[in-house]
Amino acid sequence: SIGANAAFINNKVVTLVEGSFLASRLYGRPNQEISRTYVGNPIATFYGWRADGLFQNQAEIDSHADQPGAVPGDVRFIDLNNDNVIDDKDREIIGSPHPKMTYGINSNMSYKGFDLTMFFLGVAGVEIFNADRMQGLDASYPFNLYSEITDRWTGEGTSNEIPRVSTLRTNLNHRTSDLFIESGDFLRLKVLTIGYTL
């Protein structure tokens, strides 16, 4: 026998008591917003910039919207409002921490004296803001860095995902952006029971 169930989540804020939005900030970085709550959207949606790879050379910086402090190897952010300047006005909703669906699958099988029971649990349509990875790639903190820092940009064409290492925050490479948004979808085997009847 096989059984399944699913729950679909539609999360929408219908009113705020005051202000046009509510912001939540990253612990230890009081000036860095992680999410905003707007009327008409799910509560606490991730809010930030959209990344478009890394600047590989000075010519790419010169032909891009004005991005103060950027040098080759820094993250290139998208000029969403087309005003030719990268600033706070170029932020938007970049993800949601709420799954669109949660589901489960269970099965029971038997053959002669043997029996097998399995239960799977899954989540779909959820995103995670990986703040740990954001800090693990930021050399301005006095902590160990992620091992993937070895794949960082070290010269033209070496990387288009992990920015150069610097203790300075001139370009704010590690600001809230979709560079640190990851899929949280999973399907996990929660229970597995094998038996034999004597």
Cα(42)–Cα(44) distance, integer angstroms = 6
CA distances from 85 to 53, 89, 161 (A): 17, 9, 22
Give the pLDDT of residue 177: 96
Stretch (H or E) spanning 63: helix 58-63
Contact (CB, 8 A) for 188 and 122: yes
Inter-residue contact 186 to 125 (CB < 8 Å): no
Size (the chain), residues:
198
Rounded to whole angstroms, what are the CA distances from 77 to 54, 62, 66, 69?
Answer: 9, 14, 10, 12
Query: What residues pair up with 123 in beta bridges, in sequence order?
Result: 102, 186
Query: Quick one: how far is CA 117 from the chain centroid?
Result: 35
CA distances 23 to 33, 49, 124, 138, Å, are 7, 15, 25, 23
pLDDT at res. 153: 97
**Prediction pTM value:** 0.87
pLDDT of residue 29: 74
Q: DSSP states of 119-165 as a string?
A: EEEEEES-EEE-HHHHHHT-TTSSSPPPGGGGGS--STTS-SSSPPP
pLDDT of 47 reads: 96
Confirm if 137 and 146 have CB atoms less than 8 A apart: yes
What is the residue-level pLDDT of the chain in tens, covering all 198 positions? 999 999 999 989 999 998 899 999 877 676 789 999 999 999 999 999 999 999 999 999 999 999 999 999 999 999 999 999 999 999 999 999 999 999 999 999 999 999 999 999 999 999 999 999 998 999 988 889 999 999 999 999 999 999 999 999 899 999 999 999 999 999 999 999 999 999
Tell me how far the alpha carbon of residue 143 is from its chain's centroid. 21
